[in-house]
Amino acid sequence: MKQLIYKDWILSRKTTIITMIYCSLIALTFLLIRISANCGNLSHDPMFYLSLKRNMYIMRYMPCAVFFLVLVDNGSIVKDYNCGWMRLCRTTGIKTEAIVASKLVYSLISISAAIVPVMIYTVSLCIADGSGITFGQLKNLCTIYFITLTAAFLDTFLSFLLKKAYLVQLVMLPAVGTAAGLMMMHLFNRINKLSAEPVADFDLLDLIRMEYAEPLSRMLPVIFIITAAVFAICFFASVKILKRREMP
């Protein structure tokens, strides 16, 4: 199985590393803004900083955004079908369970890799604030992480089921479209607030506040169990699909 994970790493390492770099740069940008707000130029304009403060929390939802970047590259299963790799695997003695497990484990690794910059940012932010990282913040991060993982596992299962990249993307389109729309709305709203005559606030993303995430993070053990259950269901269903699928 580790050789199959190695294969997926070889094929997607550029995308994964670039994703990590982007996340790190975004995290660093927000960190610099925070430091500036604490003791730099932005500290002279506390109102401007306060209007930015809420969007700092966006970083904690970064794994969701990263998931959508990973989604583009999780066409690895579809690529395996298209180039004949899946067919070749079926002609060898390797277990179908190993093939499916390698894909799910790789999803886990790539999501986890993307969350590293987010964790570094969160910890740095708390150190910069002098507030220290709280258990509540860790729970929030874990909640978002497990939800993102669940979505990644479902995407893997859909890729095994549907085979065609455009079909998987079609199914995920509502979620992708919603996330992209919210992010664009948030960005335009930020720019709008900086203008001389800002129009009325129209940012839906501002409604996603940490206090709303609290009830969800209290259900963290349940969310963890759901993630584990989704992993198991996706695994067994994908194995069954792959075993029964004809490779014409």
Partner 1 sequence: MKDIQNAIEIRDLTKKYDGFTLDNISFDVPRGSIMGFIGQNGAGKTTTIRLMLNLIKKDSGSIKMLGLDNTENEREIKSMISAVFDELPFHEALNADQLSVIMSGLYKSWDKMTYLSYLERFALPRKKRFGEFSKGMKMKVQIAAALSHGAKLLIMDEATTGLDPVVRNEILDIFLEYLQDESNSIFLSSHITTDLEKIADSVTFIDKGRILLSGNKDEIVENHGMIKCTNSQYKEIAPEDVISARLTDFGAEVMVSGKEKIEKKYSGLTIDNTTLEEIMLFYVRRKTKEWL
> Would you count residue 1 as binding partner 1 (CB under 8 A)?
yes
Interface residue with partner 1, options 25, 38, 72, 95 (CB under 8 A) = 95
Q: Shortest approach of partner 1 to residue 1 CB, angstroms? A: 7
Number of residues that bind partner 1 (CB under 8 A): 25
Choice between 83 and 173, CB closer to partner 1? 83
Choice between 57 and 85, CB closer to partner 1? 85
> Would you count residue 18 as binding partner 1 (CB under 8 A)?
no
Q: Which two tokens stand for residue 232?
A: 């198991």
From residue 156, give the alpha-carbon distance in Å to each of 63, 86, 107: 17, 14, 8
The position carrying tokens 């893997």 is: 156
- Eight-class DSSP state of 207: G
Q: Is 84 left (phi over 0), alpha (psi -120 to 50) or beta?
A: left
> Would you count residue 4 as binding partner 1 (CB under 8 A)?
yes
Choice between 86 and 114, CB closer to partner 1? 86
Contacts of 123 (CB under 8 A, 6+ apart): 133
Site string (134-163) toward partner 1, x via CB under 8 A: ------------------------------
| Amino acid occupying residue 87 | R
Using DSSP's 3-state secondary structure scheme, residue 206 falls into helix
Distance separating alpha carbons of residues 127 and 58, to the nearest angstrom: 18
Q: Shortest approach of partner 1 to residue 82 CB, angstroms? A: 10
Q: Shortest approach of partner 1 to residue 151 CB, angstroms? A: 25
Choice between 10 and 47, CB closer to partner 1? 10
- H helices of 163-219, where? 165-194, 210-218
> Would you count residue 247 as binding partner 1 (CB under 8 A)?
yes
Site for partner 1 in 34-93 (CB under 8 A): 79-80, 83-85, 87-93
Q: Is 94 left (phi over 0), alpha (psi -120 to 50) or beta?
A: beta
The position carrying tokens 């790539």 is: 110
Q: Which region among 5-13, 21-29, 133-141, 198-206 touches partner 1 (by CB under 8 A)?
A: 5-13
Q: What is the DSSP string of 174-187?
A: HHHHHHHHHHHHHH
> Would you count residue 94 as binding partner 1 (CB under 8 A)?
yes
Q: 181 with 172: CB under 8 angstroms? A: no
Q: Shortest approach of partner 1 to residue 238 CB, angstroms? A: 18
Binding site for partner 1 (CB under 8 A): 1-4, 6-7, 10-11, 79-80, 83-85, 87-95, 246-248
